Structure 1
Amino acid sequence: MDLQRLDSYQGGAGPDFSEHVLHKTILVGDSGVGKTSLLVQFDQGKFIPGSFSATVGIGFTNKVVTVDGVRVKLQIWDTAGQERFRSVTHAYYRDAQALLLLYDITNKSSFDNIRAWLTEIHEYAQRDVVIMLLGNKADVSSERVIRSEDGEMLARVSDCLWAG
């Protein structure tokens, strides 16, 4: 499924979703990398500047989009990045079709922790899960410390898709 084409919003609540494809995506990464902000922007269709409170445990939103003429109900889960919530979030990896693994382009430690996140994903997620490495916070690119080339190379050697 081409995630870049998930752009024709059909409304969050709708008729019987049993007629639609359900696609479960999970946002993972260190605390503060912008998972909640990304989810809110996707859900509302606009960037909302400012700080969000750290996610406690896990939350989700649904959004119906059309991909290649097929209505798809996206169930997007926002996980807490803090270590103390990891055991809670592991259970959600199992049924996911995709994982968006985020790092903050202005925070080297969030990038350095990607390999640990990948180890965790490979331990708990399905073998065929699609993983995309995503360099986040492009709105503050003047503070960038992680080069795009480094993110792209890590994605390539980790067999992940990449955007950043």
Structure 2
Amino acid sequence: MATEVEFPRYRSFKIILIGNAGVGKTSLIQRYSEGYFHDSSLHKVLKHDFVEKDVLIDRSLYRFVVWDTAGQEKYKSVTRSLYHNVDGVIFVYDVTNTSSYVDLKSWLGEIRDYLEPLPNTCIFLANKCDRDVSEQLVTFSQLKNDPDFSEFMYKYETSALTGDNVGVVFDTLQREIVKKRGGDIDRKYQEIANKHEYTPPSCAC
């Protein structure tokens, strides 16, 4: 009979979502962390400015802390404090709002002032892809073909309402962060883990 092994949490990584007000940052985080969409008309917000989730990647357990900048967009001096020790960035724009797309360039410029982002730890989202084509003023195709973002390899259409690609986005970013930052895993525990069967907890999905 296999012995159950409690995997140690190796490291905690920080992810932030950046973009104009109303692009759906809070809804994306809630869809990711709780698996459902909340109606913004109810004015419901996250209980905290961040959510934490333990994720099993290649038989190693990591904690990801996802920070929401909603409500701070107008006060960038406040938002800047969130850039400390950031491991991954998700840039979000609303496909029905042209200015939210135009402002991606300024958000990217600000990130570069404070961080040294790598193409594989920054992801760009064309959010609200559930909206009718006639309402989409800046399509995902425009994002993919924009030379200003050509160095970044990961771009997705997403919808917090339907859940389209939300899980894919976080899984991709988390794996890239671990690949970049996770080289200090304790080999002793990894060797122990490899000798036993282990069923990951449901929170690690």
TM-score tier, shorter chain, comes to: 0.7 to 0.9
Distance 1:107 1:54, change over 3 A: farther
1:157 to 149, 152, 156: 149
- RMSD of aligned C-alpha atoms? 2.7
After superposition, the Cα gap between the structure-2 partners of 1:18 and 1:95, relative to the gap in structure 1 and judged at 3 Å, is farther
TM-score w.r.t. length of structure 2: 0.63
Q: Compare relative contact order (CA 8 Å, sep 6+) and give the higher one, 1 or 2.
A: 2
Distance in 2 (alpha carbons) for counterparts of 1:87 and 1:60: 18
Query: Which residue in 2 is equivalent to 1:26?
Result: 16
Which 10-residue stretch deviates more, 20-29 or 139-148?
Answer: 139-148
Stretch moving more, 61-70 or 80-89 = 80-89
- Whether 1:139 aligns to 2:130 is yes
Displacement of 1:156 after TM fit? 6.8
1:87 is matched with which residue? 77
Gap regions ≥5 residues in structure 1? 1-16
Q: Is the 8 A contact 1:28 1:101 kept in 2?
A: yes
Query: TM-score, normalising length from structure 1?
Result: 0.77
Question: Take 2:31 and 2:39, find their aligned partners in 1: how far apart are those partners?
Answer: 10
Local SS of the residue matching 2:50: strand
For residues 50 and 80 of structure 1, do their structure 2 counterparts lie closer, same or farther at Cα, with a shift above 3 Å needed?
closer
Answer yes or no: is the 8 Å Cα contact 2:94–2:128 preserved in 1: yes
* Matched-pair identity in %: 32
Say if 1:127 and 1:112 are closer, same or farther in 2 by CA, change over 3 A. closer
Query: Using a 3 Å threshold, how does the CA distance of structure 1 residues 50 and 88 change in structure 2: closer, same or farther?
Result: closer
CA drift at 1:52: 6.2
Higher strand share: 1
The runs of 5 or more residues in structure 2 that have no matched partner are 1-6, 158-205
Q: Secondary structure at the match of 1:111?
A: helix
Aligned pair count? 148
Structure 1 distance, partners of 2:100, 2:127, is 10
CA–CA separation in structure 2 for the residues paired with 1:162 and 1:81: 24
